[in-house]
Amino acid sequence: MNSTVSGSAPTVGGSLLSVDGDGRVLVGGRPPTAGDGVARALARLVVHGIRDDAVERAISVDQTNTSVIVDDRVVVKIVGRWAAADRAGDLLERLAAAGSDDIAALHGRVEWRHPELGTSTLALVTEYLPGAEDGWTWAVDDVVAVLDGRGPDPAWPALLGRRVARIHDVLGAGAVPTGADAAELRVARASASLDRALAAASGRVRARLHNRRATLARAIRSLAGSAPGLEFPIHGDLHLGQVLASPGDDADGRRYTIIDFDGDPQLEASDRERADAAARDVAHLLVSFDLVAAVAQKRVRRADPAAFAWADRARAAFLDAYRDALRHPELFDDTLLPGFEAEQLVAELHYADRFLPGWRYAPDAAITHRHPSTHELPEEPWTPPPSAPTST
């Protein structure tokens, strides 16, 4: 069920909520945290039976909002900024109404009716999945097992293809034709991403990227020839880190759940709200197979062509299953994939340059593998670093 709090400074769980001049949602003048009682109080507004002394535990991977496990029963995501979860709440409600089990079950959301700002989502309350790990852990473990000869190719690329197709069928029910300027806008957006990545790159990464800028730009320009198609509110930030694996009854003994429908955090809020092509979600997930292949090579401490050979097989299995399961094939235009993939690769590299330098090696590996070099600048072969984080 849904619930509402009202006022410019309502009291929740004994704490005063406020919105500062930058749109940040604050609890007692500070960002909400696990243990301050707010997540527990919000959960009690939506879910029956949550004790008033229920334990709160933080989920540290959520960088934009505050996600808290309450009573080992539910996850409460409290927005970091006003209106940050309106999109996610709407999409999750649509999927829940369709009976989707491809997402964590939505218990409800708490809205905030503010006298000056209007009404917006304050928190989303969803199912807690004990033992869940995101794909930067479980997928890398599986690929390392393949590289070490300890197991066959995992079945989850095809399973995910079917799950993403089902999600797109639901969210695409109200798809609309693309605008007349869609192709031009896509090329401009992707070209700007390439320019930013080129400007920020340095060292060995810079030489490898410079030597591949021509093929990246060619892939991006292919977006200009795209035919008119359909757009709808897609996931927007779909990668393996947004896929939780928990004990379940899928073919391999896991349950795969797609999370975080907030859109691409690198875009402005207004851009995240816009409809887009299904192919962008697909392209983002295909790129993440390559990123996982890079992380697996870091884990085994060697550059191993078998990692990208696995990625090729995973990509093919995902696409075959996605196409087979999609009930509305008109939603998917695969001619957009090369351009969207190129854009996502350089966007990942630029993100790493700005926020997470230790992650550069992963998109660098994928770009180096997928795009041939002009050898205009002297370059060294890509090799995995001695240590690096495994998540963006």
Annotated binding residues for Mg(2+), written as ranges, equal: 242, 260, 262
Query: How would DSSP label each residue in 145-189?
Result: HHHTTSS---SHHHHHHHHHHHHHHHHGGG-EEPPTTHHHHHHHH
Please state, in angstroms and rounded to a whole number, the distance separating the CA atoms of residues 67 and 125: 10
Could you give phi then psi for residue 129, rounded to 5 degrees?
A: -115, 95
Would you mind telling me the total number of residues written for the chain in this entry?
Answer: 392
Q: Which is it for strands 176-177 and 230-231: parallel, antiparallel or unpaired? A: antiparallel
Q: Which is it for strands 56-59 and 66-70: parallel, antiparallel or unpaired? A: antiparallel
Residue list for the binding site for ATP:
77, 134
Cα dist from 48 to 40, 101, 108, 112, 278, whole Å: 12, 22, 12, 20, 37
Could you give phi then psi for residue 263, rounded to 5 degrees?
A: 90, 180
Tokens of 244: 């939780």
Residue list for the binding site for D-glucosamine:
237, 348
Please say whether the beta carbons of 8 and 16 come within 8 A.
no
Residue list for the binding site:
77, 134, 237, 242, 260, 262, 348
The DSSP secondary-structure symbol of 69 reads E
